[in-house]
């Protein structure tokens, strides 16, 4: 479902990160978008976490794109995913998945058993 919901929101020329917050009934409650900086990296600012986590969020899906076309996670992607999962877990929120989209497919941290 996230592939169909989130994939169309990415521009293949610039890295973008989306944080999707879902309630206990898997309803999308909030969507935060973070644009990449001049280096192309996305850093999640505290204001994005604050905006996302209010109002009954029980699960989060992180998703970003790799304009390079390579869907494999970088070391920075792996680190950011583990840090986000730990942060969310302390709040009682599940990091349901982190998806990396490319033009012809995607990578799922959940499917790869990396979260």
Domains and CATH numbers, the chain: 2-108 (3.40.140.10)
Helix (H, G, I), strand (E, B) or coil at 63: strand
User: pLDDT category, 109, cuts 50, 70, 90?
Assistant: very high
Q: How many Å apart are CA 70 and CA 107, to the nearest integer? A: 9
Q: Flag whether pLDDT at 64 surpasses 60.
A: yes
Mean pLDDT in residue range 78-97: 95
- pLDDT tens digits, 65-84: 888 888 899 998 999 999 99
Q: How many Å apart are CA 75 and CA 32, to the nearest integer? A: 23
Q: Flag whether pLDDT at 35 surpasses 60.
A: yes
DSSP string, 97-115: EEEEEETTEEEETTTTT--
- pLDDT tens digits, 3-13: 666 666 676 67
């Amino acid at each position: 479902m996230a592939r169909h919901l989130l994939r169309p929101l990415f521009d293949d020329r610039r890295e973008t990160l989306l944080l999707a917050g879902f309630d206990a009934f898997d309803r999308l409650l909030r969507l935060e978008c973070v644009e990449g900086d001049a280096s192309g990296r996305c850093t999640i600012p505290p204001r994005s976490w604050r905006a996302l986590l209010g109002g009954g969020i029980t699960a989060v899906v992180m998703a970003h794109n790799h304009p390079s076309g390579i869907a494999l996670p970088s070391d920075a992607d792996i680190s950011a995913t583990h840090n986000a999962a730990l942060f969310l877990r302390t709040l009682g929120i599940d990091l349901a998945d982190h998806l990396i989209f490319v033009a012809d497919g995607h990578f799922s941290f959940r499917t790869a058993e990396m979260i």
